[in-house]
Structure 1
């Protein structure tokens, strides 16, 4: 999701890489769950996020749409996000003790927080958001340890490729007034990359890249 603000306004002014130390460690949150409330539709999910949730909860992606996730428009794309519930708008996965009930399968957005990604030249670096987390006693931790994701180099490549594919989709959507094309392209992305299950018995990434290749070929035809 694009943010039309200067990075200097929302960060400490530094860009971080995986082996850098960043002041993000909130010591297991110590009972705080502020970042799991009032997030609206901002916890946008990528295909791996939905695949992880589906496998962890043993629910087909379409079943997740009944309660746990919802679809909304972001920069022209229709994408899924985590649902918030109740008067406090708590994350649907927050338990009564104020803890995450899906922590091993939590989305990339949650793994990053309070970090964000700054994309440039078909790559990205991390930045520390300074207005988001209320904790004032955070300590330094290595970025790769904080993100806590297997195969980080492969994961970073996937995140980059997915980000720029969505940008290419957006360009097609912004440049056309054909409402049927807009609808069909958005349905294609949702159905092909999110709702069609990935085989949990094999590696996610090769399956994703098969679909990405198909998606890029489709976009090239739409741009002709």
Structure 2
């Protein structure tokens, strides 16, 4: 989650590191999937999210875009989001019984909730969104245990790199008015980063980054 609102109005006023304790444990979200409804504009997928989901379901990015993922504009950048089903507004990966079909590889933002991330000075910290989860009496848990990201340091490096790339690209696109040029840039972004299928995602991501930055025209 980006810092687009006054954090002190929606949080407990604290920022957390990966090894801190935070009152976020929902005890397994038993019989609850409330946070899986109506969040299509909030759950923006990173290339790593798409990579993990694609491998888990053995579906290509284009196949996921048929009925599981939808594309939305974000500061002139087209990015994949979780698709909400018409009518019910439930996540397309949520079963009729209320179970997440991709829980093992759920997106980073889903892993965080009810936590969020705020980026600052080339780093990020976590915050707790108060009253966001409908379950009462959330209990303390280490941030690392709640998120459950394997190879956390490597994943954090990727998230910071991706965030910086999008931030720089968003600034550049402010000055582009030609629709075809914008279309070409977004097409390149998808082809380069959201269709990574190699065994080692991180190695591939960093190997293509220098050339991608040149083509995208960012520093």
TM-score, normalising length: structure 2: 0.95
Q: In the alignment, is the contact (CA less than 8 A) between 1:70 and 1:83 conserved in 2?
A: yes
Question: SS of 1:186's equivalent?
Answer: helix
What are the within-5 Å matches in structure 2 for residues 71-150 of structure 1? Answer: 71-150=71-150
Structure 1 segments (4+ residues) deviating >3 Å = none
* In structure 2, distance between residues paired with 1:218 and 1:17: 35
Q: In the TM superposition, what is the alpha-carbon distance from 1:178 to its structure 2 partner?
A: 2.9
* In structure 2, distance between residues paired with 1:179 and 1:14: 42
2:43 alignment counterpart: 43
Q: In the TM superposition, what is the alpha-carbon distance from 1:86 to its structure 2 partner?
A: 4.1
2:201 alignment counterpart: 204
* In structure 2, distance between residues paired with 1:177 and 1:2: 25
* In structure 1, distance between residues paired with 2:61 and 2:40: 21
TM-score, normalising length: structure 1: 0.93
* In structure 1, distance between residues paired with 2:6 and 2:41: 22
Listed as ranges, the gaps of 5+ residues in structure 1 are none
Q: In the alignment, is the contact (CA less than 8 A) between 1:2 and 1:75 conserved in 2?
A: no
What are the within-5 Å matches in structure 2 for residues 14-33 of structure 1? Answer: 14-33=14-33
Q: Say if 2:54 is the partner of 1:59.
A: no
* In structure 2, distance between residues paired with 1:11 and 1:43: 19
Q: In the TM superposition, what is the alpha-carbon distance from 1:3 to its structure 2 partner?
A: 4.4
What are the within-5 Å matches in structure 2 for residues 176-187 of structure 1? Answer: 176-187=176-187
Q: In the TM superposition, what is the alpha-carbon distance from 1:210 to its structure 2 partner?
A: 1.6
**For the aligned residues, what is the CA RMSD?**
1.5
Q: In the TM superposition, what is the alpha-carbon distance from 1:214 to its structure 2 partner?
A: 1.8
Q: In the alignment, is the contact (CA less than 8 A) between 2:68 and 2:83 conserved in 1?
A: yes
